[in-house]
């Protein structure tokens, strides 16, 4: 759902509405004038002239330093913007892989600059703006599907935005009778508005299909959400607010407003949901659900009414408070009848109530054939270095698609290089993960692979599969020359890549480069380079940015939502900017191999995959 800013509306209502105080950072002040260094007076110069000249040096030096820093900041911004614009051009031309590469390059330039992105106002604003622009376009591109994350469906209420529901007295009376036997911890009501949505979700093919799909997906997270709501003191049945917000899709993103995740929080870092160039916790089902439960409880504490709390979640507490003050009615239905609510919010509350009633009575509304998706379960390991998700899949015996699905908050193909991250892996694989990961040097975990030998494989075939070298695989695993590998052997696979600051996925060509020389440099095939970069020949111009590893898109999909309301508050939006650009500098890890982590074994003692 769109989230409109509430700052203007909240200005006169700070005490009543509890609106966020979006205080801008105070401009930096020039430090107190430092004393100029002592100057040896010229023999002919009067002392007074020395006194006048001395203070001039410090401000001049400060001005020069400030100008130098400003120029350096601007150069970085220009380079990032140029990379972003290249991405836009590729996007408009339909070259989605190239667009993703340029977008990543733009973010990487900022993250790897070594500059203080968090505390420098100019760079902080540029970084936030860049992330917003990249996410907006990238989400739209990913809607086409990428082989790893499923395409998103519209949330059920999106399909009903422009539908009007004429009163149906007979239906309303019938529903009122049925409601008497409905068990819920949420105050349910049936009126013409709710009856209209029940009729729509029951009889409109598109509306019914979307509702069924949403309720099926709810099975993945129902138990987790229920626990979070219970701990926060929020009615269990308010989990169905996700029907309206996202259809229980953790990677849903509204292109127009930037709201994202299952609960459609704005990208402000509010409520401890961290967002940076590596991950966005709005797309983490567990962390975002806890934030939703806390926020909904705070809205109820403010308004004392669950319907008004829902309206405030959609429209913003400041706007709802103003409507209450304007009419004198702290009652959602009275505000509805008096025409002081936007059309979106007028649909929002009765639509969710309808979804709750129908979910609680599946047989009565044709939902009894819904098969709930199995609950998403995982182990969690906290890592603080860059680990390629392909390696995670290797060591846990899972598919890459499974690892991606378990970590919807990740925006990249690796975990962050310089901050802790809660990595989700398949249930029961923690011991295996930790044991096998010890065999990979920490500074190689973003490039190297792990492999369990299959029947019929040789070192040569394995080297070809992973674009490695037979000699290096043998050396790293202490395999004697000419000694064969056996089925079940566990091998560390060194993968040669060029040095990189953040990711090894792109390379800017130099004079004399061809696809053949680039392929050899990065251990890939010419055919792969041509396919990844949409090229037909082996010639390449100097200065071109090439993808040098298989592109995998991880970021959330986007969806266009039709809205009749021209305003949408940043409900879930308090601008407590916890944008955690704490990952601006990459850790420097030693390239030396540790004897404790390097795998040493003879052909007679190769370990077998018994897990």
pLDDT per residue as tens digits for the range 82-91: 888 887 877 7
Which residue has better confidence, 242 or 587? Answer: 242
Does residue 361 carry a pLDDT above 60?
yes
Per-residue pLDDT band at 596 (split at 50, 70, 90): very low
Per-residue pLDDT band at 136 (split at 50, 70, 90): low
Per-residue pLDDT band at 69 (split at 50, 70, 90): confident
pLDDT of residue 592: 34
CB 443 within 8 A of CB 433: no
- Give the mean pLDDT of 549-555: 59
Per-residue pLDDT band at 269 (split at 50, 70, 90): low
CB 66 within 8 A of CB 31: no
CB 184 within 8 A of CB 589: no
pLDDT of residue 609: 41
Q: How does the average pLDDT of the chain come out, rounded?
A: 76
Does residue 553 carry a pLDDT above 80?
no
- Give the mean pLDDT of 339-349: 93
Residue 106, Ramachandran bin (φ over 0: left; ψ between -120 and 50: alpha; else beta): alpha
Per-residue pLDDT band at 551 (split at 50, 70, 90): low
CB 139 within 8 A of CB 255: yes
Closest CA to 221 of 164, 280, 284: 284
The DSSP-derived string for 320-375 is HHHHHHHHS---HHHHHHTT-S-HHHHHHHHHHHHHHHHHHSGGGGT-TT--PPPP
The DSSP-derived string for 243-302 is HHHTSS-TT-BBTTT--BTTTTB-SS-GGG--BSSSBBGGG-HHHHHHHHHHHHHHHHHH
Which residue has better confidence, 380 or 32? Answer: 380
pLDDT per residue as tens digits for the range 288-322: 999 999 999 999 999 999 999 999 999 999 999 99
Does residue 92 carry a pLDDT above 80?
no
CB 492 within 8 A of CB 450: yes
pLDDT of residue 124: 79
Which residue has better confidence, 477 or 95? Answer: 477
- Using a pLDDT cut of 70, give the percent of the chain over it: 70
pLDDT per residue as tens digits for the range 493-539: 998 654 333 344 678 888 778 887 787 777 777 888 888 888 878 78
CB 557 within 8 A of CB 246: no
Which residue has better confidence, 294 or 599? Answer: 294
pLDDT of residue 528: 80
Pick the range with the lowest mean pLDDT from 34-38, 187-191, 284-288, 458-462.
34-38
pLDDT of residue 79: 85
Distance (Å, whole) CA 104 – CA 507:
12
Which residue has better confidence, 421 or 110? Answer: 421
Give residue 302's Cα distance to chain centre: 30
Does residue 20 carry a pLDDT above 80?
no
Distance (Å, whole) CA 63 – CA 59:
6
Other Cβ atoms closer than 10 A to 178:
14
pLDDT of residue 473: 94
């Amino acid at each position: 759902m769109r989230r409109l800013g509430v700052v203007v509306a909240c200005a006169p209502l700070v005490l009543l509405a509890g609106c966020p105080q979006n205080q801008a950072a105070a401009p930096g002040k020039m430090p107190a004038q430092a004393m100029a260094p002592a100057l040896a007076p010229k023999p002919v110069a009067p002392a007074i002239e020395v006194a006048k000249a001395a203070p001039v040096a410090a401000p001049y030096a400060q001005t020069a330093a400030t100008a130098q820093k400003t120029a350096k900041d601007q150069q970085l911004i220009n380079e990032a913007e140029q990379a972003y614009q290249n991405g836009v051009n590729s996007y408009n031309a339909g070259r989605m892989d190239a667009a993703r590469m340029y977008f990543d390059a733009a973010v990487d330039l900022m993250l790897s600059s070594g500059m203080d992105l968090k505390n420098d106002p100019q760079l902080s604003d540029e970084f936030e703006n860049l992330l917003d622009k990249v996410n907006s376009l990238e989400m739209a591109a990913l809607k086409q599907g990428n082989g790893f994350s499923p395409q998103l469906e519209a949330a059920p209420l999106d399909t009903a935005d422009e539908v009007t529901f004429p009163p149906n007295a007979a239906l309303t009376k019938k529903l009122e009778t049925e409601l008497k036997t409905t068990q819920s911890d949420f105050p349910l009501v049936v009126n013409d508005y709710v009856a209209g949505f029940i009729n729509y979700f029951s009889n409109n093919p598109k509306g019914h299909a979307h509702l069924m799909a949403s309720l099926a997906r709810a099975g993945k997270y129902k138990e987790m959400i229920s626990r979070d709501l219970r701990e926060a003191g929020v009615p269990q049945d308010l989990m169905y607010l996700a029907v309206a917000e996202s259809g229980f899709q953790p990677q849903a993103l509204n292109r127009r407003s930037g709201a994202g995740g299952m609960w459609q929080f704005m990208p402000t870092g509010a409520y401890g949901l961290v967002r940076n160039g590596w991950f966005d916790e709005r797309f983490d089902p567990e962390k975002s659900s806890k934030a939703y439960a806390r926020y909904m409880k705070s809205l109820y504490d403010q308004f004392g009414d669950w319907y008004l709390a829902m309206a405030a979640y959609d429209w913003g507490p400041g706007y709802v408070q103003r409507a209450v003050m304007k009419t004198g009615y702290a009652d959602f239905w009275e505000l509805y009848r008096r025409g002081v609510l936007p059309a979106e919010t007028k649909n929002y509350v009765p639509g969710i109530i309808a979804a709750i009633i129908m979910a609680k009575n599946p047989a009565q509304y044709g939902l009894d054939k819904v098969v709930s998706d199995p609950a998403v379960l995982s182990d969690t390991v906290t890592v603080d270095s860059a680990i390629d998700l392909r390696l995670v899949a290797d060591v846990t015996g899972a598919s890459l698609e499974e690892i991606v699905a378990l970590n919807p908050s990740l925006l990249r193909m690796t975990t962050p290089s310089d901050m802790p991250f809660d990595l989700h892996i398949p249930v029961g694989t923690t011991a295996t993960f930790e044991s096998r990961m010890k065999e990979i040097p920490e500074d190689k975990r973003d490039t190297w692979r792990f492999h369990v030998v299959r029947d019929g494989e040789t070192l040569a075939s394995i080297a070809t599969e992973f674009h490695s070298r037979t000699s290096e695989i043998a050396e790293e695993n202490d395999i004697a020359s000419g000694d064969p590998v056996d089925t079940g052997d566990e091998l560390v696979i060194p993968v040669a890549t060029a040095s990189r600051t953040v990711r090894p996925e792109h390379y800017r060509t130099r004079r004399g480069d061809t696809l053949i020389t680039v392929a050899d440099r990065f251990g890939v095939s010419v055919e792969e380079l041509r396919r990844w970069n949409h090229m037909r020949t082996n010639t390449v111009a100097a200065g071109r940015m090439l993808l040098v590893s298989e592109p995998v898109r991880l970021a959330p999909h986007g969806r266009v939502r039709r809205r009749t309301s021209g305003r949408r508050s940043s409900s879930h939006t308090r601008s407590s900017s916890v944008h955690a650009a704490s990952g601006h500098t990459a850790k420097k890890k030693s390239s030396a191999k540790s004897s404790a982590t390097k795998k040493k074994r003879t052909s007679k003692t190769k370990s077998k995959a018994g897990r």
